[in-house]
Amino acid sequence: MTVKSKIVFGWLAVILIADQVTKFIIDQTMPLHHSIPVIDNLFSLTYIRNTGAAFGILSGSAASFRLPFLVLFSVLAIGFVVMMLRRLPDRETGLITALAFILGGAIGNLIDRIAYGEVIDFLDVYWSNFHWPAFNLADSFITVGVLITVYYLVKAKGEDPFTRTNSSSRARP
């Protein structure tokens, strides 16, 4: 098994188990729309079901359109991330980890969409009456993965980390 495979499958196992276990616990122990304050005026556990995409986008559309569209979009996004992972050399461990985070989060939310037709969200961050849309661990891993990916792409200074050769073996001008 390659270094890349070990990183990806290791993170996928951690992310999917943590995501699905936390969603299961919330689903089994809290009534829908119930909230448990953890840090006053900042953070609560609030059980909601998101029928839409990120930030509830498409949640008002007909389920006959929304669900197949979101499942198809998720499958295409997962395919794209897998394709990008295949192009990365094993030494790009930071980017491999970032893409594994995105992949794990996408798969975690896809499992919910297929199983329930919606995604279980429960992390509720707010200040007074201003609430960030509720999210889950899969969403968190996707966000962190995207931020790490952006960091590495900026750090690459225009080079394509998905195709570049080892910079130490190239002649410098």
Between 138 and 65, where is the model more confident?
Answer: 138
pLDDT-based confidence at 55, cuts 50/70/90? low
Active site residue 139: yes
DSSP secondary structure letter of residue 160: -
Confidence (pTM): 0.88
Residue 169: is its pLDDT beyond 90?
no
Among 19, 112, 121, 124, the one annotated catalytic: 121
Question: What digits encode the pLDDT tens for the residues 97-108?
Answer: 999 999 999 999
pLDDT at 69: 87
> β-strands 119-127, 130-131: how paired?
antiparallel
Among 19, 112, 124, 139, the one annotated catalytic: 139
**123: amino acid identity, one letter:** L
The H or E element spanning position 78 is helix 63-87
> β-strands 35-39, 130-131: how paired?
unpaired
Q: What is the mean pLDDT of the chain?
A: 89
Residue 37: is its pLDDT beyond 70?
yes
Query: What residues contact 164, with CB distance under 8 A and at least 6 apart?
Result: 156
